[in-house]
């Protein structure tokens, strides 16, 4: 699998999971609250913080059930600039999802380290390609999509000459029930696609995204808020700062626990390996020159080098070189 560089972070197998805190529209149109959320997400350990940039009337029909909420949560570009400036002053890795072309042009001026295509636009070739033409790493959310659609969208990105794409497995339900998550699809996508694959999570809690890391997710994206009691459709499936800190810490522990995949003793097991396994001891006093028989030995812990229960087949019926006291250790060096 190829890796993708996002700023000073490397994303892909063998590298730390890239954790994205998705503010989205949890700010409900309040610039001050948006800044507070961006800062809290960054301070809680996110690798990147994401917002959504949009002009509602340019991408939603008035009949859409979310139209009025988006109108109320919309932050005009000139006000959103405050959020980008705020993040830039604090070296916060902020990026966004454009919902239409005017917002894409606005995002382009911010020179983010990456850009995202939402699941609703995964099949919108023109927006996908115009975003990919920025030649930034592009994060593609595959919610509601088939594998054929995934491959088609990747093809659109590659046509622009942009090879820095990352795919997100996603279930576009808010909140998503666990039985809809199909985390096994992450492994399937990684086998088929030559790119990092992550999980955009909309479940309640942090256990499902944590499990996705065990399934090989290279990226975790989850909604973030400073107060889950705030109004809005995404608050219920969002993390707060405590959740995000816990998720980050748990993911880092899990990455260590997943390990290299070779079946071998851990470094920490080498010393206990001798102490906890059985060695070979004299069941009675044994005289030099006698033949070692099964009745002459006991298999007790601890073992030692050259005195392990697995050495016994090389000792039985062999002549003893020296006198050995009862309960004395018998080693391979003690036999002819």
Q: How confident is the model at residue 118 (pLDDT cuts 50, 70, 90)?
A: very high
pLDDT in tens, 167-198: 999 999 999 999 999 999 999 999 999 999 99
Q: Is 327 left (phi over 0), alpha (psi -120 to 50) or beta?
A: left
pLDDT the model gives residue 1 = 87
CB 139 within 8 A of CB 117: yes
Which residues touch 193 (CB under 8 Å, ≥6 apart)? 150, 151, 154, 167
pLDDT tens digits along 74-105: 999 999 999 999 999 999 999 999 999 999 99
Angle, CA of 82, 88 and 163, to the nearest 5°: 110
Tell me which residue of 99, 106, 28 sits closest to 58, measured CA to CA. 99
Tokens 């030099």 -> residue: 288
Q: What is the mean pLDDT of the chain?
A: 97
- CB-CB contact of 55 with 102 (8 Å): yes
pLDDT at 132 over 90: yes
How far apart are alpha carbons 253 and 249 in whole angstroms? 6
Mean pLDDT of 233-257: 96
Q: State the pLDDT at residue 328.
A: 98
For residues 7-13, give the mean pLDDT. 98
**What are the tens digits of pLDDT across the range 274-317?**
899 999 999 999 999 999 999 999 999 999 999 999 999 999 99
Q: So what's the pLDDT on residue 176?
A: 96
Yes or no: say if 297 and 330 are a contact pair by the CB < 8 Å rule.
yes
H-only helix segments in the chain: 31-43, 67-73, 77-89, 101-110, 125-132, 147-159, 184-192, 207-214, 241-258, 270-276
247-258: average pLDDT: 97
How many other C-beta atoms can be found within 10 angstroms of the C-beta atom of residue 112?
22
Q: What is the percentage of the chain residues whose pLDDT exceeds 90? A: 98
Q: How far is CA 331 from the centre of its chain?
A: 48
Q: Give residue 72's pLDDT.
A: 96
Instruction: Say what the pTM is.
Output: 0.91
pLDDT (average), residues 311-332: 98
Q: Read off the pLDDT of each residue in 13-41 and give the average, rounded to a whole number.
A: 98
pLDDT in tens, 191-238: 999 999 999 999 999 999 999 999 999 999 999 999 999 999 999 999
Number of helices and strands (H, E) in the chain? 10, 12
pLDDT-derived band at 165 (thresholds 50, 70, 90) equals: very high
Domains of the chain: 14-258 (3.20.20.70), 267-334 (3.90.1210.10)
* SS3 of 258-289: HCCCCCCCCHHHHHHHHHHCCEEEECCCECCC
Strand order in the sheet with 94-98: 94-98, 48-53, 18-24, 219-223, 197-201, 165-170, 138-141, 115-117
The predicted structure's pLDDT at residue 283: 98
């Amino acid at each position: 699998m190829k890796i993708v560089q996002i700023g000073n972070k490397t994303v892909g197998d063998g590298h730390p999971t890239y954790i994205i805190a998705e503010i989205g529209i949890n700010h409900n149109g309040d610039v001050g609250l948006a800044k507070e959320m961006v800062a809290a997400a960054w301070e809680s350990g996110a690798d990147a913080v994401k917002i959504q940039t949009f002009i509602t009337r340019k991408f939603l029909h008035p009949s859409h059930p979310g139209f009025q909420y988006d109108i109320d949560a919309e932050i005009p570009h000139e006000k959103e600039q405050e959020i980008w400036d705020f993040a830039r002053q604090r070296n916060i890795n902020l990026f966004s999802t454009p919902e239409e072309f005017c917002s894409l042009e606005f995002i382009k001026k911010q020179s983010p380290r990456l850009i995202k295509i939402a699941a609703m636009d995964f099949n919108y070739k023109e927006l996908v390609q115009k975003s990919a033409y920025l030649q930034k790493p592009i994060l593609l959310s595959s919610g509601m999509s088939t594998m054929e659609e995934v491959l088609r969208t990747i093809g659109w990105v590659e046509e622009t000459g942009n090879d820095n794409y990352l795919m997100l497995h996603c279930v576009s339900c808010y909140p998503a029930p666990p039985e809809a998550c199909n985390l096994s699809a992450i492994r399937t996508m990684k086998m088929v696609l030559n790119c990092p694959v992550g999980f955009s999570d909309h479940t309640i809690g942090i256990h499902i995204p944590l499990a996705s890391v065990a399934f090989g997710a290279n990226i975790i994206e989850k909604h973030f808020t400073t107060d889950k009691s705030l109004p809005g459709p995404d608050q219920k499936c969002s993390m707060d700062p405590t959740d995000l800190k816990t998720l980050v810490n748990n993911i880092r522990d899990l990455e260590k626990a997943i390990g290299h995949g070779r079946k071998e003793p851990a470094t920490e097991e080498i010393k206990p390996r001798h102490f906890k396994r059985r060695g070979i001891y004299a069941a009675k006093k044994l005289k030099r020159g006698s033949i070692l028989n099964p009745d002459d030995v006991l298999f007790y812990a601890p073992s030692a080098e050259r005195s392990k229960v697995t050495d016994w087949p090389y000792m039985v019926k062999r002549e003893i070189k020296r006198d050995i006291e009862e309960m004395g250790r018998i080693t391979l060096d003690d036999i002819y």
